[in-house]
Amino acid sequence: MELITHPRSVGLRDKWRMCRRVGLIFLLAAVALTIFQRSRSNTYFHKSQQTQQQFGLHGSSQRRSLRFVPELLWNWGRVNSVAATEESSVSGRDVRRTWDITINNCSANYNLSKFQWFMELENNFKQFLLYRHCRHFPMIINQPEKCKGEIYLLIVVKSIITQHDRREVIRKTWGREQEIDGKKIKTVFLLGTSSNEAEKANHQKLLEYENYIYGDILQWDFMDSFFNLTLKEIHFLKWFSMYCTKVHYIFKGDDDVFVGVRNVLEFLGSMNIKNLFAGDVILKAKPIRKKENKYYIPVALYDKTLYPAYAGGGGFLMDGPLARKLYGACETLDLFPIDDVFLGMCLQVLQVAPIKHNAFKTFGLVHDKKSKLNREPCFFKDMMVVHKLLPQDLLQMWEMVNSHRICSQNCIHLDLH
Ligand SMILES: *[C@@H]1O[C@H](CO)[C@@H](O)[C@H](O)[C@H]1NC(C)=O
Ligand SMILES: *[C@@H]1O[C@H](CO)[C@@H](O)[C@H](O)[C@H]1NC(C)=O
Ligand SMILES: *[C@@H]1O[C@H](CO)[C@@H](O)[C@H](O)[C@H]1NC(C)=O
């Protein structure tokens, strides 16, 4: 009766009690959560300290390495899993081959200085020719386990030691290791060493730390320079032939491109041919003889009037068996300073014609760099590879292209083909 006659006063008292109770529960929950998080972040901190000690990260590089710590939080599970696979590979029965070159004892061929034509060359070509016969370098960082199991697509990115931010964005966007419709995708970055001693000292440890976290760095002991990209090409092909027997396809490209991974998978699914090599194929290109040009090639180095068909190095696709054959074919040729042309020469040895596809835009969508079209997500949506984007633009474009809001019926599809 009372309850019914004085509903207000009783209700108020009960509500107050209830509020207190709920408040207390919240407070307890908050305290518990804080303690839990503290203990977790302590583990992280401990872990990152350990790794820093392990890699001798101290002094000036310690400050920089702080940038990694938030990453480490995200990747804590992965760090553990990397450590676990390392252990299992040690104890596993699966004995992997090791890279056969352990020392670099190749010296310059000064015999060339006897020749007048050599002495007349620009310095960078002299440098290239002096070391042209040096084709076998040791590995500094290897991933012998990368191709374990069956892999549909191996993404291979040419990178240099200082471009950490580009690698980071690629890992978050098109280079993400994942499985799409049952097709496994793995990623590696190809690096040489820095030519600059200070850079070498500061960045090498960081690179090793980065590799400890992600396990996706391949590094060889040759200087990363424009003319040494060909060395990178042949070392990758050799590495692939040694370690990756069950990879169906390879995407190989630069670290400043946009890649539409789903379009790539769709394209590969539709191709049922042997010796697939597809990209932004350039036919009948003439060697550039203007000295100011980045791609200048003196007649002394290449005297033919045309290059063989080749795909722009910004991004192309090939199948795994072809990559192994290419390794053999490239071994029969002298090194050529432009890596994508060199690969065209190797293809010519095999008499394989590269396929041109319009979804590879290794020179940008439209040649006019200022054009708004180069910033238009609707275009990117249909593309496999587009050159050339800064890390921030890449991330932004990736998010726009992958959001479902854009490119509905209202969106104008301009036909670039
Ligand atoms: C370089 O080392 C290899 C062994 O790794 C050896 O066979 C070769 O003779 C050496 N070359 C020179 C020039 O010392
Ligand atoms: C340089 O010339 C000497 C003698 O002619 C020869 O033995 C040597 O192999 C040459 N070096 C290279 C790297 O070709
Ligand atoms: C390529 O790398 C080797 C080994 O580091 C170096 O000796 C050579 O000078 C480099 N070549 C060019 C053209 O940069």
pLDDT tier at 388 (50, 70, 90 boundaries)?
confident
**Closest residue to atom 9 of ligand 3, CA basis:** 127
Residue 362: per-residue pLDDT: 73
With a 6 Å cutoff on the Cβ, whether 65 touches ligand 3 is no
Q: Which range scores top for mean pLDDT: 120-124, 193-197, 329-333?
A: 329-333
Q: In this prediction, what percent of the chain has a pLDDT beyond 70?
A: 71
pLDDT tier at 184 (50, 70, 90 boundaries)?
very high
Q: Is residue 106 part of a domain?
A: no
Q: How far is the CA of 222 from the centre of ligand 1 (A)?
A: 17
State the ligand closest to the CA atom of 129. Answer: 3
Angle between helices 7-54 and 76-91 (to 10 degrees): 40
Residue 61 has pLDDT above 50, yes or no: no
Q: How far is the CA of 110 from the centre of ligand 2 (A)?
A: 8
What distances in angstroms separate CA 240 from CA 36, 137, 188, 215, one per listed residue? 45, 15, 11, 16
Q: Is residue 221 part of a domain?
A: yes
Encode pLDDT of 231-277 as tens digits: 999 999 999 999 999 999 999 999 999 999 999 999 999 998 999 99
pLDDT tier at 151 (50, 70, 90 boundaries)?
very high
Q: How far is the CA of 107 from the centre of ligand 2 (A)?
A: 11
**64 and 170 inside one domain:** no
Residue 324, domain extent:
135-361
Mutate to test the pocket of ligand 2, among 107, 109, 111, 136 (most ligand atoms within 8 A of CB): 111
- Out of 95-104, 140-149, 216-225, 342-351, which region has the weakest mean confidence (pLDDT)? 95-104
CB atoms within 10 A of CB 7: 10
Q: How far is the CA of 335 from the centre of ligand 3 (A)?
A: 12
Q: Is residue 259 part of a domain?
A: yes
Residue 256: per-residue pLDDT: 93
With a 6 Å cutoff on the Cβ, whether 103 touches ligand 1 is yes
Residue that finishes a domain, picked among 53, 68, 83:
83
The enclosing domain of 308 has a CATH number of: 3.90.550
**160 and 64 inside one domain:** no
Residue 101 CA: nearest ligand 1 atom is: 5
State the ligand closest to the CA atom of 109. Answer: 2
Compute the residue count for the chain.
417
β-strand pairing of 183-193 with 151-158: parallel
Q: How far is the CA of 153 from the centre of ligand 1 (A)?
A: 36
Over range 339-354, report the average pLDDT. 97
Question: Would you state the structure tokens that stand for residue 137, as one six-digit string?
Answer: 């370098």
Residue 195 CA: nearest ligand 3 atom is: 5
- Out of 100-104, 265-269, 372-376, which region has the weakest mean confidence (pLDDT)? 372-376
Residue 12: per-residue pLDDT: 57
Question: Would you state the structure tokens that stand for residue 404, as one six-digit string?
Answer: 């479902």
Mutate to test the pocket of ligand 1, among 102, 103, 105, 134 (most ligand atoms within 8 A of CB): 105
**143 and 279 inside one domain:** yes
Q: Is residue 3 part of a domain?
A: no
pLDDT tier at 387 (50, 70, 90 boundaries)?
confident
**158 and 50 inside one domain:** no
Specify the higher pLDDT residue, 53 or 384: 384
**185 and 74 inside one domain:** no
Residue 245: per-residue pLDDT: 93
Cβ burial, residue 234 (10 Å; 0-12/13-18/19+): buried
With a 6 Å cutoff on the Cβ, whether 111 touches ligand 2 is yes
**145 and 76 inside one domain:** no
Q: Is residue 272 part of a domain?
A: yes
Specify the higher pLDDT residue, 111 or 12: 111
Residue 62: per-residue pLDDT: 34
**348 and 227 inside one domain:** yes
**148 and 294 inside one domain:** yes
Encode pLDDT of 79-94 as tens digits: 333 333 343 343 334 4
Q: Is residue 38 part of a domain?
A: no
**294 and 159 inside one domain:** yes
Q: Is residue 347 part of a domain?
A: yes
Q: Which of 217, 213, 166, 216 is nearest to 69 (CA)?
A: 213
Quote the mean pLDDT of the chain.
Answer: 80
With a 6 Å cutoff on the Cβ, whether 131 touches ligand 3 is yes
Q: How far is the CA of 102 from the centre of ligand 1 (A)?
A: 10
Instruction: Write the DSSP string, 248-296.
Output: EEEEEE-TTEEE-HHHHHHHHHH---SS-EEEEEE-SPPPB--TTSTTB
With a 6 Å cutoff on the Cβ, whether 105 touches ligand 1 is yes
Q: How far is the CA of 105 from the centre of ligand 1 (A)?
A: 6
Over range 57-75, report the average pLDDT. 36
**216 and 312 inside one domain:** yes
Q: Is residue 199 part of a domain?
A: yes
Whole-prediction pTM value? 0.76
Question: What is the sign of the dihedral through the CA atoms of 339, 324, 190 and 125?
Answer: negative
Residue 360: per-residue pLDDT: 86
State the ligand closest to the CA atom of 193. Answer: 3
**258 and 148 inside one domain:** yes
Q: How far is the CA of 332 from the centre of ligand 1 (A)?
A: 20
Total number of domains in the chain: 2
**162 and 68 inside one domain:** no
State the ligand closest to the CA atom of 194. Answer: 3
Residue 33 has pLDDT above 80, yes or no: no
